[in-house]
Structure 1
């Protein structure tokens, strides 16, 4: 297990996430700088458990996670939905937070500070 530092490293963040998330959780990743590290720790455990883009495009992650959480709510399923979004990508669709609030969605959002220059 990676050691805790200040600031925390992506390795520490994602190894901790892998330990605390539910086994059948749905993960949405939009953190271009850290997706490779995220995939080392947070594994797709079943079909429909890990979503990311096939090509680069910014702003899909937060609305996609909201849609997945809404689908869980509407179908009566109870899978945990976790969104890992880079700080830059987060800014492209911040209005999804309003949707999450209005629909009382159960969703964990982690915003990674990528420190890109």
Structure 2
């Protein structure tokens, strides 16, 4: 008979980072601190703000952005909590959409900075 999975073994909490890739360094820093704190970190995997052959063509870039947005929603599905990386309080439209999605799932949400405390919150 196959062995059953041990449900008593705990795993570290999973946190997903959400935020604008214009703040790529802040996302990397948050990833570092969350990892050192013992959390499994899910984060954006590429920065479309930086030139790259994969998104050089505008049509391909738009399709890829849609795919990446959907992939990030699946990361939110997997996560136990969401960390919004928002230097200066900045929250753009994509991040706002991710926050709304996470809230619809009842995910706990933390912020690295108070929302709306600095840069224009659009963008």
Per the normalisation by structure 2, the TM-score is 0.39
More helix per residue = 2
Per the normalisation by structure 1, the TM-score is 0.40
